[in-house]
Amino acid sequence: MLEIRSARKVFHRGQPDEKVALDGLDLKLATGEFAVVIGSNGAGKSSMLNAISGALVLDSGSIVINGDDVSGLPVYKRAVRLARVFQDPMKGTAASMTVAENMLLAELRATKRTLRQGLNVKRLADYKERLALLGLGLENRLNTRVDLLSGGQRQSLSLIMAVGGKPDLLLLDEHTAALDPRTADIVMQATVRAVDALKLTTLMVTHNMQHAVDFGHSVVMLDAGKVRLEISGQEKADVTVADLIGHFAVKTDRMLLAS
Ligand SMILES: Nc1ncnc2c1ncn2[C@@H]1O[C@H](COP(=O)(O)OP(=O)(O)OP(=O)(O)O)[C@@H](O)[C@H]1O
C-alpha cells in the first residue's frame, strides 16, 4: 500500500525561476495495485517518484508505505522496501560486474544479508531460471560483464533484479522509453508477468499512451504537481489512447485561452 499525503515541493522558492513541482499531491494505491502515471513534461511525475524514493525531500506532506510513514527516512533505508527501474539502462546495474554478480548484489540488498553468502550452484540455477523467462538469452550470459550487454538486455536485467526481492513498492520510471519497440515490448511483458505473479504494488511513469491503455489497473494523470485525473475499473478497461490524449488537449486549450 502506498499513500502520498498533501505532498508539496517548490524549487528555487522566492526566486524568479521558482517552480512548484508538487502542489499538495494526494495519491493512494492499494496493495497489489498497478497504476500507470501519465502527464505532460513538467507535470511532476519524476518529482513524485523521487519523493517516494527519498531522493527528493518534501517541503511538507508525507509518504506512507504499508502503513509506515517513511518521509523522514533517507534513500538507503527506503531502498529496502522499494525498487526502482530508471529510463537509462546504465543506472540500474553495476557495469564492471557480471550478470550473476549483479543479481547477487540485488538479492543481498533486498534480504539484508552479507556478501559472505556468495554465488553457489543453487543461486546460479535460480538466476538462470529467472533470466530465461525474459526470452533474451541472458540465462546463458551469467558470467558476462554487464557493460557488454545491449541496452535492452541491461534494462531487462535491471527489472529482474528490482523485482527479485519482492519489494513493497515497484517504481518504473519510463523504463522502456529508451528501448527499441521490440525490446520495449519484451520488457513490458516481463514487467506485467512479474507484477501479476508477485502482486507488486506498482507505479509506472510513461509517455506511451498505448502502454497506459494496455497495462495496469488504473491510470493517474498528473498536471502541475497534482492528480488531475484517475481512471480505474471499467472506465480504465474501456479507455482509449484518444481519450487520454483528449485530457492533455483540454489542458492545452485552457492554456491557449489563458494566454
Ligand atoms: N532539481 C530541480 N530544480 C529545479 N526545478 C526542478 C527540479 N526538478 C524538477 N524541477 C521542476 O519541477 C517541475 C516538475 O518536474 P518533473 O521533472 O517532476 O516533471 P515530469 O512530469 O517528470 O516531467 P518530464 O515528463 O519532462 O520528465 C518542472 O517545472 C521542473 O522544471
Domains of the chain, earliest start first: 2-258 (3.40.50.300)
For residue 40, the ligand 1 atom closest to its alpha carbon is 25
Q: How far is the CA of 29 from the centre of ligand 1 (A)?
A: 23
Q: For residue 153, what are the contacts with CB-CB under 8 A and spacing of at least 6?
A: 136, 138, 141
Where does ligand 1 bind, in terms of residues with CB under 6 Å? 11-12, 19, 21, 39, 41-47
CA distances from 61 to 7, 51, 112, 126, 164 (A): 4, 10, 29, 41, 30
Predicted confidence (pLDDT) per residue in 75-132, tens digit: 989 988 999 999 988 888 999 999 999 999 888 877 666 656 688 888 899 999 989 8
For residue 174, the ligand 1 atom closest to its alpha carbon is 27
CA distances from 100 to 113, 131, 138, 142, 199 (A): 16, 10, 10, 5, 25
pLDDT at 109: 75
Q: How far is the CA of 12 from the centre of ligand 1 (A)?
A: 12
Using CB atoms within 10 A of its CB, is residue 158 exposed (0-12), middle (13-18) or buried (19+)?
Answer: buried
Write out the E strands in the chain. 2-11, 19-29, 34-38, 60-65, 68-69, 82-85, 169-173, 202-205, 218-223, 226-232
Q: How confident is the model at residue 199 (pLDDT cuts 50, 70, 90)?
A: very high
Predicted confidence (pLDDT) per residue in 212-221, tens digit: 999 999 999 9
Interhelix angle for 121-132 vs 99-111, to 10°? 100
Q: How far is the CA of 123 from the centre of ligand 1 (A)?
A: 40
Q: How far is the CA of 223 from the centre of ligand 1 (A)?
A: 12
ipTM higher than threshold 0.95: yes
For residue 44, the ligand 1 atom closest to its alpha carbon is 18
Predicted confidence (pLDDT) per residue in 27-70, tens digit: 999 999 999 999 999 999 999 999 999 999 999 999 999 999 99
